[in-house]
Amino acid sequence: MSTRATAAPADQLTVRRSNLSLVLTHLRDAGPRSRARVASDTGLNKATVSSLVAELIDRGLVGEGEVQRVGNVGRPGQTVGLAPGGVVGVGVEVNADFVDVTALDLTHEVVLSRRHPADIRALGEQRSIELLVRCLDDAVVALGDSGCSVVGVTVAVPALVDSLRGRVALAPNLGWTGTALAEQLDTALAHHGIRVQLDNDANLGAIAEHAVGVARDVDDLVYLAGEVGVGCGVIVGGRLVRGASGFTGEIGHAPLNHRLEVCGCGRVGCWETQVGLGVLLTGCARGPDDPVLDTYADIDARLELVLARAADGDPDTLDTLERVGIALGLGASVLVNIVNPRALVLGGYFAALEHHLRPYVVHTLLERVVAPEAGGVEVRASQLGFTAASRGGAVVALQSVFADPTRVPVTA
């Protein structure tokens, strides 16, 4: 057989796959519209678009919607849009206090959201991974029962993550080092036929805010993940900044605390010894048995308690919020001086306590950022709470389908 005979169909398949991706991604970014409108938006001809849309419908990725007229002439067309339900991506965050699972469909609607409080450091690495497997297995089964098929899983870890090799290089607040997490999860979940990838929690938080959160309208942002550890995800020009080895964003370990307290990483004076969740909760606690320190209680409920005490004018709580707020502003000003983002998104517990922390942060930014008006940065509170990283994981899992819709088999 001549190579020339096989080259043309292979090229045609590549072009078709790329056009399927173009149409599906356009429907995600521009919303439902008629086939004629898709053709004029993308520059593809109408017959090609009809054929591509038919295939996307057969793969369960696109559905028909309402009838819509384009301009004043011609027949009205039926709109097509991303199919809700059905194909889903799953994100899981494992953090010091919890495992959070979120599944999003192609329209980025939440189809499953579960949080399991857990003391991950106390459980140890192997039992934590077993818990992670149980949480994932339960979620995939529940999604299957409700007619959804999972296209991929992304796990968020508060760690230096080697995404390419699927390894957790170092997670100081979990006590993990050199963990081949993706491989272990792939093996444990092989019966579901699902591939697992890993990323840093703050990177995925930034991706979530840019895709579905409060930073959808900007392409330059810093997302600050306020959890037991503190890290940031940086998006510049619409792209996540990873750095030479993938370890960008470890601001939590910048030496900003002159009191030289010992950090989870073993160094002294790291920023997170002033602004980490543990510091906040310890500062607000009335003793070692205070419910705000109960790692088996849901984190949102514990933060509600902090808010209630602040509303009652509890002096220890208000002093702690002021101390954390000023320190948060100082670290944020370092980031804003370096990155000059349009938006600084406060995530995790920083968002839950935004009402108290924001005035200190804004004041400090105006004082410490050398550019006039702090370089035009807007401080925004995440509305995704502690689900930001898991949502970002689900967004990333879905990206494989937008890049290549033929990954989803024809079902019609």
Least spacing, CB of residue 403 vs Zn ion, in Å: 36
Choose between 265 and 310: whose C-beta lies nearer to Zn ion. 265
Distance CA 81, CA 61 (A): 9
The identity of residue 322, as a single letter, is E
Decide if 344 contacts 377 (C-beta within 8 A). yes
Residue ranges that bind Zn ion, judged by CB under 5 A: 253, 263, 265, 267, 270
Distance CA 252, CA 247 (A): 12
Least spacing, CB of residue 121 vs Zn ion, in Å: 15
Integer-rounded Cα Rg, in Å, for the chain is 23
Residue 321 CA, chain-centre distance (Å), reads 26
Distance CA 158, CA 229 (A): 7
Cα–Cα–Cα angle for 303, 136, 393, rounded to 5 degrees: 65
Choose between 46 and 267: whose C-beta lies nearer to Zn ion. 267
Choose between 165 and 267: whose C-beta lies nearer to Zn ion. 267
Least spacing, CB of residue 278 vs Zn ion, in Å: 12
Choose between 262 and 403: whose C-beta lies nearer to Zn ion. 262
Choose between 348 and 393: whose C-beta lies nearer to Zn ion. 348
Choose between 267 and 355: whose C-beta lies nearer to Zn ion. 267
Q: Minimal CA–CA distance to 274: which of 293, 251, 294, 290?
A: 251
Residue found by looking up tokens 């995530």 in the block? 347
Strands, sheet with 221-226, edge to edge from the N-terminal-most edge strand: 239-240, 230-236, 221-226, 343-348, 378-381
Query: Residue 67: what are its φ and ψ, rounded to 5°?
Result: -85, 135
Least spacing, CB of residue 230 vs Zn ion, in Å: 9
Distance CA 331, CA 326 (A): 9
- Tell which phi-psi region holds residue 178, choosing left (phi > 0), alpha (psi between -120 and 50) or beta: left
Choose between 134 and 267: whose C-beta lies nearer to Zn ion. 267
Distance CA 322, CA 309 (A): 14
Least spacing, CB of residue 279 vs Zn ion, in Å: 12
Least spacing, CB of residue 256 vs Zn ion, in Å: 10
Choose between 160 and 221: whose C-beta lies nearer to Zn ion. 160
Least spacing, CB of residue 257 vs Zn ion, in Å: 10
Choose between 153 and 270: whose C-beta lies nearer to Zn ion. 270
Distance CA 116, CA 94 (A): 10
Beta strands in 299-348 (DSSP E): 343-348
Least spacing, CB of residue 388 vs Zn ion, in Å: 22
Least spacing, CB of residue 163 vs Zn ion, in Å: 21
Distance CA 235, CA 339 (A): 9
